Amino acid sequence: MGTNTVYEDCDVLVVGGGMGGTGAAYEARYWGRDMRVIVAEKANIDRSGAVAQGLYAINCYMGTQWGENNPEDHVRYARNDLMGMVREDLAFDMARHVDSAGHKFEEWGLPFMKSADTGRYLREGKWQIMIHGESYKPIVANAARNSADKIYNRIMVTHLLMDESRDNRVGGAVGFNCRTGDYHVFRAKAVIVAAGGASHIFKPRSVGEGMGRTWYAPWSSGSAYALSIQAGAKMTQMENRIVLARFKDGYGPVGAYFLHLKTYTQNAYGNEYESTWYEDTKAMVGEYIDHHPTPTCLRNHAFIQEVKAGRGPIHMVTKEAFQDPHLEEVGWENFLGMTVSQAVVWASQDIDPKYINPELTTSEPYVMGSHATCSGAWCSGPEDLSPEEYFWGYNRMMTVEGLFGAGDAVGGTAHAFSSGSFTEGRLAAKAAVKYVKDLKNEKINVTDKQIDDLREIIYKPLDNYKIGRNEIVGGTVSPSYLLPIQGLQRLEKVMDEYVGGTSVNYMTNDKLLERGIALLDIMEEDFEHIGAEDLHQLMRAWELRHRLLTSQSVAQHTMFREETRWPGYYYRGDKMKLDDENWHCLTLSRRDPETKKWTMEKAPVYHIVD
Ligand code: SFD
Ligand code: AMP
């Protein structure tokens, strides 16, 4: 395996062809007409990433052409939802460009719903517009295909390459083809990491035969974080994992229901419950509970408290809205275009939301940077907006030279969603092209040794299995190797119990974290012994390694921030209050690639918009 090596030399390499990656490929071609632009994607860009199943709404659209919202308004909205802190420069930059993503999608054939009264895009809520989006991803992928020189599908990128002639500069990436086993070496002058967020780092509520059913895509393996962390890039706000209120078991999103169908929640006894928890929440977070709209985490907090108090389950009141045949149709279509499993769960459990109010649940935590959360890499902002601490030359460039990010990969940019992630890809690509142009004739030096060493590391799980398999006559338990699924379940259990997952009601503290971090470190040693039976399992092995690094980062950040900033996402039992005096700041981490030691620091939150 891995004896056949495929080399690709390019100017701009895009890792991950999801929403950020497709935007990057499209824009790189626009600014870099004569540049070689390559996409390396784990799956197939037609149906890869979080948008694989389609989406029913574009959740970030200003509507500036009709005077609906301005970018400043969106910064205020995202800041409010994130309990006071986002990277306002990055958020504003995304918001001022995001509308054109919607316009492009429509031009490329995505069907938008329109208001019969105004002819404008039909609003689901203040920021969201509604689409018939089952084919959202193939439509956007087509534009990327028309732009890139080549799209390599089925390539699991495992590591970034580093330039050996200059410290702290990227030189490309390596990975393997999940179908052929070929070793792929991409030498590149600039790399844009757009490999998405992370599910399955905390134990999911659905285990066993249901373990594939999570809200965020089960194939989101934290690669965007792990690739960047391995290269020594700084991360920010990794403690800000997100918990979603979702329809039970199918994890169907609730936005269309709350905002368009105007449904509402109640406890098992038919009572409104959010006001019950108002004083309790105020004591923890102060005036943030009076903000409008109520921050997502605080809505979760009331939900979690009410269930803990014994008055669950929480129901979504659908019976009223579903009497209107139009709204009934929208309610079902919403899932058929985005989360088919929810419609299947209801059908299989005899739940007709016209007659029965369905149950909601709170999900296991996910790590991402584009929903009501902002974990990700610490990136430079745009030159016209960013204060000194937020700017080092190129928009969306990480703290490693030549390494850029988009979508879930970038920290500080909450509420970007699909359209904002695509937009960030465009912004990153524009800057990456400029970076390559500025390099002029300077060469990137990646030695054969670096390439050969990584090849050894990447294929090792296949050898572990081949050799270790001889020691057992049957079954799956070996004294010499761990299977990826066994490793995954161990990781999920530690994250769940020590770092604030569902089984402990999202609670952790300094002592639990200390132990959790130690257990994750032991796991890092053990995962040297992962055994992969075939190429598919080799992909699972590397997804697991990426999830572990993401988890370590989350645990380190959670330990560092000594307060409970987002009740409803997680609680630090030893520091149960929000502490604006000491922690109205962003958190930063760096893992030294040589020593593997983490260092943590604070970074200022600049309020650029008043
Ligand atoms: O309703 C490697 N999202 C929603 N956004 C919206 O605009 N509207 C909605 O309605 C949304 N909702 C929603 C959403 C997501 C999901 C799963 C559901 C519902 C059920 C969020 C968006 O989807 C999200 O913000 C963007 O997709 C983020 O973009 P990006 O580019 O950061 O991630 P990606 O699209 O998942 O793409 C990642 C790509 O990388 C590949 N990849 N490739 C090579 N090597 C590796 N090691 C790789 N690891 C990953 C992936 O295959 C993928 O192509 S609602 O809930 O709000
Ligand atoms: P969701 O379906 O929960 O992912 O939400 C889709 C969009 O609607 C996101 O922009 C959410 O922030 C927003 N949203 C969902 N529920 C509410 C709510 N109860 N109040 C305000 N905004 C919401």
Rounded Cα gap, residues 466 and 477, in angstroms: 14
Between the CA of 51 and the centroid of ligand 1 the distance, in Å, is 5
Report the nearest-CA residue for atom 6 of ligand 2.
255
Question: Which band of pLDDT confidence, cut at 50, 70 and 90, is reported for residue 469?
Answer: very high
CB 377 within 8 A of CB 586: no
Q: Over pLDDT 70: what percentage of the chain?
A: 100
pLDDT of res. 546? 98
Between the CA of 511 and the centroid of ligand 1 the distance, in Å, is 34
In the predicted structure, residue 257 carries a pLDDT above the cut 60: yes
To test the ligand 1 pocket, which listed residue (47, 51, 136) has its Cβ within 8 A of the most ligand atoms? Answer: 51
pLDDT of res. 212? 83
In the predicted structure, residue 147 carries a pLDDT above the cut 80: yes
B/e letters for 308-335, b = 16+ CB within 10 Å, e = fewer, are: eeebbebbbbbbebbeeeebbebbbbbb
Rounded average pLDDT over 411-423: 98
pLDDT digits (tens, 9 = 90+) for 119-143: 999 999 999 999 999 999 999 999 9
Between the CA of 255 and the centroid of ligand 2 the distance, in Å, is 4
Q: Residue 508 to residues 496, 515, 595: CA-CA distances in angstroms?
A: 10, 11, 27
The DSSP-derived string for 179-225 is: TT--EEEEEEEEEEE----B-SSSPPSS-GGGTT--SS-TT-BSHHH
Between the CA of 392 and the centroid of ligand 2 the distance, in Å, is 34
The DSSP-derived string for 491-508 is: HHHHHHHHHT-GGGTTEE
CB 160 within 8 A of CB 172: yes
Between the CA of 216 and the centroid of ligand 1 the distance, in Å, is 8
The DSSP-derived string for 233-257 is: --EE-TT--B--EEETTT----HII
**Contacts with 82 (C-beta within 8 Å, 6 or more apart), sequence order:** 240, 295, 372, 373, 374, 414, 566
CB 593 within 8 A of CB 450: no
- How open is the CA angle 405-11-375, to the nearest 5 degrees? 5
To test the ligand 1 pocket, which listed residue (229, 260, 417) has its Cβ within 8 A of the most ligand atoms? Answer: 417
The DSSP-derived string for 58-104 is: E-----GGGTS--HHHHHHHHHHHTTT---HHHHHHHHHHHHHHHHH
To test the ligand 1 pocket, which listed residue (154, 413, 418, 545) has its Cβ within 8 A of the most ligand atoms? Answer: 418
Q: Which ligand is nearest to the CA of 129?
A: 1
pLDDT digits (tens, 9 = 90+) for 426-448: 999 999 999 999 999 999 999 99
To test the ligand 1 pocket, which listed residue (47, 59, 230, 396) has its Cβ within 8 A of the most ligand atoms? Answer: 59
List the one residue out of 25, 11, 21 whose CA is nearest residue 146: 25
pLDDT of res. 3? 74
CB 408 within 8 A of CB 10: no
Looking at per-residue pLDDT, the higher value among 473 and 46 belongs to 46
Residues with CB under 6 A from ligand 2: 59, 125, 127-128, 253-255, 258-259, 293, 296, 372
pLDDT digits (tens, 9 = 90+) for 279-311: 999 999 999 999 999 999 999 999 999 999 999
pLDDT digits (tens, 9 = 90+) for 306-329: 999 999 999 999 999 999 999 999
Phi, psi of 13 (to 5 degrees): -105, 130
Residues with CB under 6 A from ligand 1: 15-21, 40-43, 48-51, 55-59, 155-157, 175, 194-196, 215-217, 220-221, 223, 253, 255, 338-339, 370-371, 407-408, 417-419, 421
In the predicted structure, residue 1 carries a pLDDT above the cut 70: no
Question: Which band of pLDDT confidence, cut at 50, 70 and 90, is reported for residue 2?
Answer: low
CB 233 within 8 A of CB 400: yes
Strands 403-405 and 155-162: unpaired
pLDDT of res. 489? 97
Rounded average pLDDT over 77-105: 98
pLDDT of res. 150? 98
Question: Which band of pLDDT confidence, cut at 50, 70 and 90, is reported for residue 210?
Answer: confident
Look up residue 42 and give its DSSP letter: S
In the predicted structure, residue 248 carries a pLDDT above the cut 90: yes
Rounded Cα gap, residues 287 and 279, in angstroms: 11
Tell me the average pLDDT of the chain.
97
In the predicted structure, residue 6 carries a pLDDT above the cut 80: yes
pLDDT digits (tens, 9 = 90+) for 396-412: 999 999 999 999 999 99
Question: Which band of pLDDT confidence, cut at 50, 70 and 90, is reported for residue 537?
Answer: very high
Rounded average pLDDT over 72-84: 98
Strands 264-266 and 585-591: unpaired
Query: How far from each other are the two terminal CA atoms of the chain, in whole angstroms?
Result: 57
